[in-house]
Amino acid sequence: MDKLTVVPFEPQHIKAIVFDLDNTLVSSDMDFFSLREEIGCPFDRDLLTFTDEITCPTLRADAEQMILDHELEDAKSSHPMPGCVTILRYIERKALHTAIITRNCFEAASAKVKHNNLNIERIISREHFAPKPAPDALNSLASEWQLAPKQVLYVGDYLYDLQAAFNANMPSCLVNHGIEKPFEHQASVVVPHLNDLTQLLTYGNASKNNKAM
């Protein structure tokens, strides 16, 4: 993916902000190293894809339960990431559409949202659509909200999030927590924390209003 092909971030056009969940809105301490060892997933394979391809129904069900157990346990210790409350208040104040798209299962994602008192009712998990980097969930939301792709910003902390947005022809925001990532060039905009994204959106819309006056 070349930087020139990434959909630009234009705050004045944004009508919806969709989020990844883990380490974007709330913290996650999932021990993927241990989980992969338990399931027997090679470290060069996507965990969910590997699990789906287990041919023995019993072994696949066991692996799925292991993942669920880890996700539910992770939900109990999660907390809002810096800037989470601020950007959700911004979204509410501006009456923007919002949702969560996560590779977590719905049960675990719902537990995290409830545990952290997030005011987001729409949660799309791996049970609903093909998991990221597939763009299906993002495309479905844009269609439902009757928005053009450039009006929907997807916010996440990992490569799959950027790829999903790119595949949906939407702008993306990478939250890097102040640590440079090798795939940052694939993001429309990069911020250290969600507070910084709120500032960009606020200033961007203020500039639009000033030009209109």
Say if residue 100 is in the same domain as residue 137.
yes
Which is more confidently placed, 149 or 44? 149
Which is more confidently placed, 20 or 61? 20
3 pLDDT higher than 70: no
Residue 126: per-residue pLDDT: 87
CB atoms within 10 A of CB 106: 14
The mean-pLDDT minimum among 34-38, 143-147, 186-190 falls in 34-38
Whole-angstrom Cα Rg for the chain: 17
Q: What's the structural domain count of the chain?
A: 2
Residue 4: per-residue pLDDT: 52
Say if residue 180 is in the same domain as residue 120.
yes
Residue 206: per-residue pLDDT: 55
Say if residue 133 is in the same domain as residue 198.
yes
pTM (2 decimals)?
0.83
Say if residue 12 is in the same domain as residue 117.
yes
Residue 182 is part of a domain; what is its CATH number?
3.40.50.1000
Q: What is the 3-state secondary structure (H, E, C) of the chain?
A: CCHHHCCCCCHHHCCEEEECCECCCECCCCCHHHHHHHHCCCCCCCHHHHHHCCCCHHHHHHHHHHHHHHHHHHHHHCCECCCHHHHHHHHHHHCCEEEEECCCCHHHHHHHHHHCCCCCCCEECCCCCCCCCCCHHHHHHHHHHCCCHHHEEEEECCHHHHHHHHHCCCCEEEECCCCCCCCHHHCCEEECCHHHHHHHHHHHHHHHHHHHC
Say if residue 127 is in the same domain as residue 164.
yes
Q: Report residue 145's pLDDT band, with 50, 70 and 90 as the boundaries.
A: very high
Say if residue 22 is in the same domain as residue 45.
no
Query: Which residue range is the domain that position 198 belongs to?
Result: 3-28+80-212
Say if residue 84 is in the same domain as residue 161.
yes
Say if residue 66 is in the same domain as residue 119.
no
Report residue 124: phi and psi, to 5°: -115, 120
Say if residue 100 is in the same domain as residue 182.
yes
Say if residue 199 is in the same domain as residue 120.
yes
Say if residue 149 is in the same domain as residue 50.
no
The mean-pLDDT minimum among 2-6, 20-24, 69-73, 77-81 falls in 2-6
pLDDT digits (tens, 9 = 90+) for 92-136: 999 999 999 998 889 989 999 999 999 999 999 989 999 899 999
Say if residue 161 is in the same domain as residue 183.
yes
